[in-house]
Amino acid sequence: MTSATPGRDCVFCAIVAGELAADVVLETEHLLAFLDQRPVFKGHVLLVPREHHATLPDLPAPLRDPFLAAAQDIATAVVDVLGAQGSFVAINNTVSQSVPHLHLHVVPRTKGDGLRGFFWPRQKYADGERAAYAERLRAALA
């Protein structure tokens, strides 16, 4: 399912079309990666499919492996080329997704960089609740 209106309503579609400038770091037939204009840390890369798909569940099966392979290559490059010790790799689906076009973040990380885990409060499961959540997810994925 492709949602949102691709094209002029989507900043990433405009970047893919060459209508908006971006500092491109990787181009393939189906994917584009470029530097985030408001990086968490310098070298923060966004990876997008060229075709408009709003979220990860919308990504067609033939693009899954190339998308993940490109993410691996970018995560390796930020370590090898930028001197990072590792990376933070993330995708938001709908909630906290500032642009409604699938994009994967690769953020270079080093010890002591000030980024501390996730940015939201942690929750605790009540007794037996964790097993019930796991069972519901297992059933949905079976």
What was the pLDDT predicted at 125?
A: 82
Q: Which long-range contacts (CB under 8 A, 24 or more apart) does 59-64 make?
A: 59/102, 63/30, 63/31
Q: Contact, 45 vs 7, CB < 8 A? A: no
Q: Is residue 6 part of a domain?
A: no
For the chain, strand residue ranges (E) read 24-27, 31-35, 45-49, 86-91, 104-109
Q: Is residue 3 part of a domain?
A: no
- Mind listing the pLDDT tens digit of every residue in the chain (142 residues)? 344 455 558 999 999 999 999 999 999 999 999 999 889 999 999 999 999 999 999 999 999 999 999 999 999 999 999 989 999 999 999 998 889 999 999 999 999 888 876 665 567 889 988 888 877 878 887 8
Q: Is residue 72 part of a domain?
A: yes
What was the pLDDT predicted at 141?
A: 79
Number of domains in the chain: 1
CATH code of the domain containing 66 = 3.30.428.10
What was the pLDDT predicted at 130?
A: 81
Q: Is residue 64 part of a domain?
A: yes
Report the first-to-last Cα separation within the chain, whole angstroms.
21
Instruction: Tell me the residue range of the domain where 72 lies.
Output: 11-141
What DSSP line would sit under 36-51, residue for residue? Answer: -SS-SSTT-EEEEESS
Q: Is residue 1 part of a domain?
A: no
What was the pLDDT predicted at 62?
A: 98
Q: Contact, 44 vs 108, CB < 8 A? A: yes
What was the pLDDT predicted at 9?
A: 86
